[in-house]
Structure 1
Amino acid sequence: MRRTAEKWPFPLTARYAGQLTEALRAETVGGVVMLLATVAALVWANVSSDSYEALRTTVVGPEFLHLNLELYKWAQNGLLAIFFFIAGIEVKEEFVHGELANLRKAALPVLAAVAGMIVPALVYLAVSWGAPQSSRGWAIPTATDIAFALAVLAVTASAMPTALRAFLLTSAVVDDLGAITIIAVFFTEHVNVLALAAGAAVIGLYGLLQARRVRGVWIYVPLALLAWYLVEISGVHATVAGVALGLMTRVHSAPGEENSPAELADHRLRPVSAGFAVPAFAFLSAGVVLDADALGGMTGDRVVLGVIAGLVVGKFLGVFGGAWLAVRLGLAKLSEDLHWRDMAAVSILAGIGFTVSLLIGGLAFGDDPERASAVTTGVLAASLIASVLAAILLRVRVRKHLNAQDDVDTRAR
């Protein structure tokens, strides 16, 4: 008994921490944590909006480094850089080892992703046409939340063919790359060229050391932080540094290495991203007041309606239409394990914008708190609608696939 007491709490704490970390690598757990953070933000904002707003606008950080930012800005610019670093690694993995390594296989998710960004933007512009400052929000419905979408797929349709998950993952990865390009190009007003050049040089050095197989995490962590800082003060959104560093990370194992640096970075940072970075961003971004006036204003605001239509309708038309057109033109081939009804369900799932849509909405309307709050409500509503519709359709498709498999097994006997 004494021996057990002597071991507590550290061995037990370490064991449970390890179990929690492993759980956070699962898509379903990460999605649940993000959902809980969103619910907590909504509850707090509707119980005490003043205290919630005071928290998210609390300024912290050293002023002499130009890093005296509000907490929600730290979440946008700092914590999401971790999320986008992992996204950059996923993009590179897809190009080297995944679907994007084969042009024929890549055509289907790439063309679906591209159409899935263009069509929602057009739907948004059509619905919001004539509303004040509506043109600023065209990019909001172009994004797909890869973590949330994969979580819904894992929970509702784990029995679906793996080809469907591969399609969603690859198209969402391309979507993330497109979203960060949009942020870099369209949401950068004033650029400090010297700081940006210095940031690019540091990212280049990081990539050179990776290519030369230089080892040592404490070499790369300071370089990554310096690159993030230089891009942050340059005026370009700091999440761009995250994606660039992810793309520079080596995905091949060197002799004597059990895992590549990309695999190690993903293994160590994904729980941080899923368990803290993205939920903290969601908590500091999703707290909107949902009273009658706010909901009535949302339904009467064509910008918000454009966001909802873009995500729910535009994403479906874009992703499904892009995939269908790619196959129709002979540029791609649909997996034999999939049916077009499967593609329709996952195309609706792509309408879960959430993380990146909230980020772009904040960038587009950050100087207009009332409109930004309404847009946030629209993103949340659209993501909920897309999640529910996709979950229902996916469950129907799962039953169809299981029944078809049972018929095959019966005939085989």
Structure 2
Amino acid sequence: MDNSGKLKNIVPLLALLTAFPAFSTDMILPAIPSLALLWNKPLSVVNLILIGFFVTYGFSLLFYGPISDRYGRKKPLIAGIVLYIIASILCATANGATALIIFRIMQAAGAAASASLSMAMTKDIFAGNERQRILAYIAVIMALAPMFAPIVGGWILAYLTWHWIFIAQGAMGLIGLLGVIRTPETLKEPTIVPISKVMNSYWGLLLNTNYIIMVLVMSVSLLPLYSFIAGSSALYINKFGMTEQTFSYFFAFNALALMAGSMSCLKLTDRINPKHLMTAGFAGIAIGAALILTVGHYGPWAFAFPMALITYSIGISRPPSNHLVLEQVHKDAGAASSLLIFTYFTLGAVGMWLVSQEWMERMQILGTITLVCGVIVFAAWMLLQKRGIGSESHH
């Protein structure tokens, strides 16, 4: 099989599959305040369409990886995308909060196949520098998806109803499905290990203390970002009185900060020890939180700039911290990265739940969550370095 011919077709497909989760999460954000009004439900209920999606997505990731190692990538991927398309159509027909939450959970179970298996397919097809280049390309798409998804959602809401957001997602699923059907199976040698044995690799990881500590620390550092995702539309639309479209541009500005952080990390890694980038990033999260709590309520930009600092700090610290987590593992890298992403999403769902409550003013909740997370992560990172974890992170 001529690899170069196949590459031209597969890279856009891999990028599309990787973008599924971001599009599924962020396209609906501009509609959340109006759905809360429409169904007369508090934000803590309506946000279950995000929280339910995240939790299910995280759990589903744990299964697709091992199943695809055993039965190949193509069958589980087709099954996942078909489920995603059906669930998207059902979401578009939902007539209340409960129905939409249930259909979103189905949608997440399908979306997890595309994200986890696109990564596995990249590993199957490419090697060495070429793989790094393709992964960097996919990372840019992953960063662009959350920037454009709410803008697309905002434009749909300006001219159509919220139902069309899910019709658009179903159409995206259909394009992905046609691409996957035309793509040959990428896994050359399926494992002959029974699924139960593969699942045992997760138990081994849970006993790896260094790995688990690093996973928890890095996941807590991402929690403020997920809290922002769940609270942003209520803040910008309800508190600052923005239209759904204007909100989507402010949300895109924040996604741009995440992308800028990741780009800065790529540029600086050769000149600065990645450990110092992580230290600066974790400090930046706490500083941004302090700014939100003191000046954030003065206006949309007074909130947007400190939030962008937090997101930029997450962007600059995430690549070296992901690398460092995987450095703690010598085999079962697939299971290790699945468990890492699962923890990100599960703790992210906790952040989404916290910010949806009515304990105090929404911005105070977001600022407090971020400050607590920033301080915990910074302190834990300092202790870990004293213990010698992370000393091998600099290549």
Is TM-score (shorter-chain normalized) higher than 0.5? no
* Structure showing greater Rg: 1
- Whichever structure has more helix as a proportion of its residues is 2
Q: Which of structures 1 and 2 has the larger relative contact order (alpha carbons within 8 angstroms, sep 6+)?
A: 1
